[in-house]
């Protein structure tokens, strides 16, 4: 497939919408912690139905409408860390001022125009992910700008909103949600469609991510930041790709979507040339498959009111098997729609004979629906009512193929570069004021108290020039959560910058690799350890084992950690004694090798002293002792 696409010529347009969880103490509208829980630890569950109210104008959002046709039961898992606010059983508390401050800080960093008064809105969302049926969201700033290599990008909106529930399961007509995530403060950053290429898209996302992490106030780890990408090309349509969790996949996803749109347009042209058409007739072809050898069809026929239904797509022959994205065919696009109704998938004649369906059955099927050689037949097996709705959705999608690219929301498939249909694009957001939450004035006073943090990239450059760290360590410590600690230790001790930086980065990685959580080490523990090291209470080689000890026994006294692993301070006389003993025991060797004996003797000496004293000092003492022996031996 063609992968050298000229994005400018294609009329490529893209914008990003980034959702980032904030690492605040409390949730946005209640005082529960922002910590995630294991579903197993849920101590209560309840269920609800949601029902969109008709708006004044009488319109129901198309995404909302499709969602409501499923009439789902939403089950919610509660915890001892969630409260009645998450249950939608208590009015929300006031807007979390810590979260607001972080949002304002980021608003300033993105050079947005901040509003003077923040109004919280209710945005209708009826997929059950919010117990209320709406998401509380407030616009904080508009019209900002991010400087990115490859072209600056406008920031259209910055909103502070509540995170939705995490979906943890589906069971027939039930969708199961976990309440722990509901209400965690979430920042939404929307860019203008200024993005020029897939590479540019990744860079913009990286830059925004870097700015967000520079605040030190955002959550990290998988799922804490999610990117939605809006992509279109000139003759195509706006397609929203939801929930991209990894930055490195953005480029591939955007490329694939452009390719998908290009291919759908080609397909449309081919269909036009063939004079293809789609009609609404659904055929009952159950009798064709009576006594079929296909297990899947048999299975479908066994369901309540089981049937095989089919549609005939005129002029579509061989096109359903055409690849639209890698490993995704037009048939997959049809199948995506059908699956929304709980169907495993669809069959089509382009892939026949297969699945145990015989050649004879296929010809019989074609005859039954009046398909010519140019036509394709799509058929499904299962419960009649579901089949009907699923085929209606396929008919709808087939008609869209005649027009080009349908506007829709898509999700990223496992593997991270191809996408599948998720739902229609949401219509204009349906919002009205959240009257339970008073507006918050953004006064001078509040803004004065907000300090703009140094960007991680600026910090890295400073570390390079000020502390002489190498590129890799500077970058690592600057983006780590320990940057402030690093600078503090530098200020209060005489230890070298590379030593502190590597301890706070690679040493901790090693500890984690050994199966101990370095997250147990508090900042004050680090400071004590570094201070002890600085005053020579142990050698720098011991810092790893000591930190590991602290991490394995949270709350342990640092001095006792040092003692516990036998690395207590050894005074110089004792050390000299040990070195003396080793040198004396190898006196003959020393006399034979002369000063070159230092190297070979370092081994046995360090074996006794590792961690108790700096290797450099050992070398000095050893050299002096050997000198003495040689002196006396002469």
Q: How far is the CB of 44 from another protein (least distance, A)?
A: 9
Q: Of the candidates 259, 260, 240, 256, which has an alpha carbon nearest to the alpha carbon of residue 411?
A: 240
Q: What is the DSSP letter of 247?
A: G
Q: Residue 156 CB, nearest distance to another protein (Å)? A: 8
In angstroms, the CA 305 to CA 373 distance is 31
| Cα 317–Cα 322–Cα 325 angle in degrees, nearest 5 | 155
Among residues 139 and 561, whose Cβ is nearest to another protein?
139
- Which of 13, 100, 139, 187 is in the footprint of another protein by CB under 8 A? 139
Strand partners, 141: 114, 158
DSSP 23: -
* Residue at token pair 């980065």: 505
Structure tokens at 224: 């804490």
Judged by CB under 8 A, does residue 433 bind another protein? yes
Exposed, middle or buried: residue 569 (CB in 10 Å: 0-12, 13-18, 19+)?
middle
> Which of 133, 209, 236, 382 touches another protein (CB under 8 A)?
133
Which residue of 4, 40, 54, 171 would you call a contact of another protein, by CB under 8 A?
A: 54
* Binding range to another protein, per CB under 8 A, among 125-133, 201-209, 348-356, 450-458: 125-133
Residue among 238 and 608 whose Cβ is closer to another protein: 238
Q: Is 176 in the site for another protein (CB under 8 A)?
A: no
Q: Are 547 and 518 in contact (CB under 8 A)?
A: yes
Question: Pick from 80, 113, 472, 523: which binds another protein (CB under 8 A)?
Answer: 113
The answer to whether residue 562 forms part of the interface with another protein (CB under 8 A) is no
> Which of 5, 10, 52, 192 contacts another protein by CB under 8 A?
52
Find the shortest distance in angstroms from Cβ 482 to another protein: 38
Is residue 131 a contact residue for another protein (CB under 8 A)?
yes
DSSP of 561-628, one letter per residue?
HHHHTT-----HHHHHHHHHHHHHHTHHHHHHHGGGGHHHHHHHHHHHHTTTS-HHHHHHHHHHHHHH
Please report, to the nearest 10 degrees, the dihedral formed by the alpha carbons of residues 509, 510, 514, 516 taken in order. Answer: -50
Using the minimum distance from each CB to another protein, give the nearer residue, 76 or 289.
Answer: 76
Cβ proximity to another protein: between 228 and 488 the closer is 228
Contact characters 589-618, another protein, x per CB under 8 A: ------------------------------
Contact 283, 387 (CB under 8 A): no
The residue (of 90 and 514) whose beta carbon lies closer to another protein is 90
DSSP letters, 305-369, are TEEEEEEEEET-TTTTTSEEETTEEHHHHHHHHHHTTT----EEGGG-S-TT--HHHHHHHHHHH
Binding mask 63-102 for another protein (x = CB under 8 A): ---------------------x--xxxxx-----------
Give the C-alpha distances (Å, rounded to integers) separating 200 from 7, 157, 196, 250.
Answer: 11, 20, 6, 10
Of 138-146, 257-265, 325-333, 481-489, the window that binds another protein (rule: CB under 8 A) is 138-146
CA distance 535 to 540: 11
Cβ pair 294, 306 in contact under 8 A:
no
Give exposure, 396-406, as e/b (b: 16+ Cβ within 10 Å).
ebbebbbebbb
Residue of the chain from 5, 10, 33, 46 that contacts another protein (CB under 8 A):
46
Which of 19, 37, 101, 122 lies at the binding interface for another protein (CB under 8 A)? 122
Q: Which is nearer to another protein, 360 or 441 (CB)?
A: 441
Contact between 432 and another protein per CB under 8 A = yes
Element (DSSP H or E) covering residue 486: helix 483-492
- Least distance in angstroms from the C-beta of 81 to another protein: 18
The answer to whether the CB of 424 falls within 8 A of the CB of 409 is yes
Q: Which residue has the tokens 């050997």?
A: 626
Q: Which of 40, 56, 290, 607 binds another protein (CB under 8 A)?
A: 56
Segment near another protein (CB under 8 A); pick from 124-132, 320-328, 371-379, 526-534: 124-132
Compose the 441-460 pattern: x for residues touching another protein by CB under 8 A, - for all others: x-------------------
| Region of residue 216 (left: phi > 0; alpha: psi -120 to 50; beta: else) | left
DSSP 248: G
Q: Which is nearer to another protein, 118 or 477 (CB)?
A: 118
Residues 6+ apart with CB under 8 A from 429: 123, 124
Does 50 contact another protein by CB under 8 A?
yes
**30 near another protein, rule: CB under 8 A:** no
Nearer to another protein, 132 or 263 (CB): 132
* Shortest spacing between CB 41 and another protein, in angstroms: 19
Q: Is the peptide bond before 477 cis (omega within 30 degrees of 0)?
A: no
Nearest CB to another protein, comparing residues 58 and 555: 58
Residue 375 found at the interface with another protein (CB under 8 A): no
Report residue 19 as tokens: 């959702």
Q: How far is the CB of 432 from another protein (least distance, A)?
A: 4
Residue span binding another protein (CB under 8 A) among the ranges 134-142, 326-334, 379-387, 589-597: 134-142
Among the residue ranges 25-33, 51-59, 307-315, 547-555, the one whose residues contact another protein (CB under 8 A): 51-59
* 132 contacts another protein (rule: CB under 8 A): yes
Structure tokens at 387: 């089949």
Rg (CA), the chain: 33
Q: Given the rule CB under 8 A, which of 109-117, 280-288, 458-466, 482-490 is the region that contacts another protein?
A: 109-117
For the chain, the distance separating the N- and C-terminal CA atoms, rounded to the nearest angstrom, is: 82
What is the size of the binding site for another protein (CB under 8 A)? 49
The window from 131-139, 348-356, 389-397, 398-406 that contacts another protein (CB under 8 A) reads: 131-139
- Closest approach of another protein to the CB of residue 50, in Å: 4
CB of 63 to another protein, least distance (A): 13
What DSSP assignment string belongs to 175-188? EEEETTSTT-EEEE
Residue 450: which of 19, 213, 98, 21 has the closest Cα? 98
**409/240 Cα distance (integer angstroms):** 5
Kindly tell me which of 130 and 227 has the beta carbon lying closer to another protein.
130
Q: Which is nearer to another protein, 137 or 418 (CB)?
A: 137
Q: Which residues bind another protein (CB under 8 A)?
A: 46-58, 84, 87-91, 113, 115-119, 121-124, 126, 131-134, 137-139, 142-143, 157, 159, 428-433, 439, 441
């Amino acid at each position: 497939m063609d992968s050298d696409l000229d994005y400018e010529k294609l009329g490529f347009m893209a914008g990003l919408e980034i959702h980032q969880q904030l690492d605040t103490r409390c949730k946005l509208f209640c005082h529960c912690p922002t910590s995630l829980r294991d579903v197993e630890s849920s101590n209560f569950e309840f269920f609800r139905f949601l029902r969109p109210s008709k708006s004044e104008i009488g319109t129901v959002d198309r995404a909302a409408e499709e969602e409501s046709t499923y009439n789902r039961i939403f089950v919610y898992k509660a915890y001892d860390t969630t409260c009645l606010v998450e249950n939608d059983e208590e009015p929300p508390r006031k807007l979390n001022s810590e979260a607001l401050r972080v949002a304002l800080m980021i608003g300033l960093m993105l050079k947005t125009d901040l509003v003077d008064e923040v109004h919280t809105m209710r945005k209708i969302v009826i997929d059950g992910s919010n117990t209320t049926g709406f998401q509380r969201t407030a616009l904080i700033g508009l019209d900002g700008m991010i400087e990115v290599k490859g072209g600056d990008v406008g920031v259209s909106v910055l909103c502070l909103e509540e995170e939705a529930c995490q979906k943890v399961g589906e069971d027939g007509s039930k969708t199961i949600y976990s309440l722990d995530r509901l209400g965690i403060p979430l920042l939404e950053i929307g860019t203008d469609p200024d993005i020029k290429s897939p590479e540019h898209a990744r860079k913009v996302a990286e830059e925004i991510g870097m700015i967000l992490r520079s605040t030190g106030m955002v959550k990290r780890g998988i799922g804490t930041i999610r990117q939605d990408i809006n992509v279109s090309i000139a003759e195509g349509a706006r397609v929203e790709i939801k929930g991209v969790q990894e930055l490195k996949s953005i480029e591939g996803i955007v490329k694939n979507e452009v390719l998908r749109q290009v291919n759908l347009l080609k397909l449309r042209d081919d269909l036009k040339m063939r004079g293809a058409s789609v009609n609404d007739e659904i055929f009952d072809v159950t009798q064709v498959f009576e006594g079929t050898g296909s297990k899947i069809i048999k299975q479908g026929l066994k369901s309540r009111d089981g049937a095989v239904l089919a549609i005939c797509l005129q002029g579509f022959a061989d096109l359903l098997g055409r690849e639209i994205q890698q490993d995704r065919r037009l048939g997959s696009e049809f199948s995506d729609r059908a699956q929304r109704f709980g169907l495993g998938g669809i069959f089509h004649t382009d892939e026949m004979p297969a699945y145990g369906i015989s050649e004879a059955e296929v010809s019989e099927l074609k005859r039954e629906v009046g398909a010519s050689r140019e036509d394709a037949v799509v058929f499904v097996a299962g419960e009649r009512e579901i089949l009907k709705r699923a085929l209606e959705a396929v008919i709808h999608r087939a008609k869209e193929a005649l027009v080009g690219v349908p506007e829709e929301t898509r999700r990223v498939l496992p593997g991270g570069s191809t996408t599948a249909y998720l739902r229609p694009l949401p219509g204009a957001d349906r919002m009205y004021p959240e009257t339970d939450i008073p507006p918050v004035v953004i006064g001078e006073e509040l803004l004065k108290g907000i300090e703009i943090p140094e960007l991680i990239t600026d910090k890295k450059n400073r570390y390079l020039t000020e502390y002489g760290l190498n590129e890799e360590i500077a970058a690592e410590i600057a983006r780590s959560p320990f940057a402030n600690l690093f600078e503090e230790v530098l200020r209060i001790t005489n230890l070298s910058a590379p030593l502190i930086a590597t301890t706070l980065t690679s040493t901790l990685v090693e500890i984690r690799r050994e199966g101990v959580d370095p997250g147990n080490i508090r900042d004050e523990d680090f400071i004590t350890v570094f201070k002890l090291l600085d005053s020579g209470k142990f050698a720098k080689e011991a810092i790893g084992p000591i930190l590991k000890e602290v991490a394995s026994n949270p709350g342990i006294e640092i001095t006792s950690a040092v003692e516990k692993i036998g690395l207590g301070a050894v005074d110089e006389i004792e050390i000299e004694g040990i070195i003396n003993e080793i040198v004396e025991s190898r006196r003959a060797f020393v006399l034979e090798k002369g000063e070159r004996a230092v190297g070979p003797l370092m081994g046995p000496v360090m074996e006794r002293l590792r961690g108790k004293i700096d290797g450099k000092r050992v070398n000095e003492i050893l050299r002096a002792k050997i000198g003495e022996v040689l002196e006396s031996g002469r």
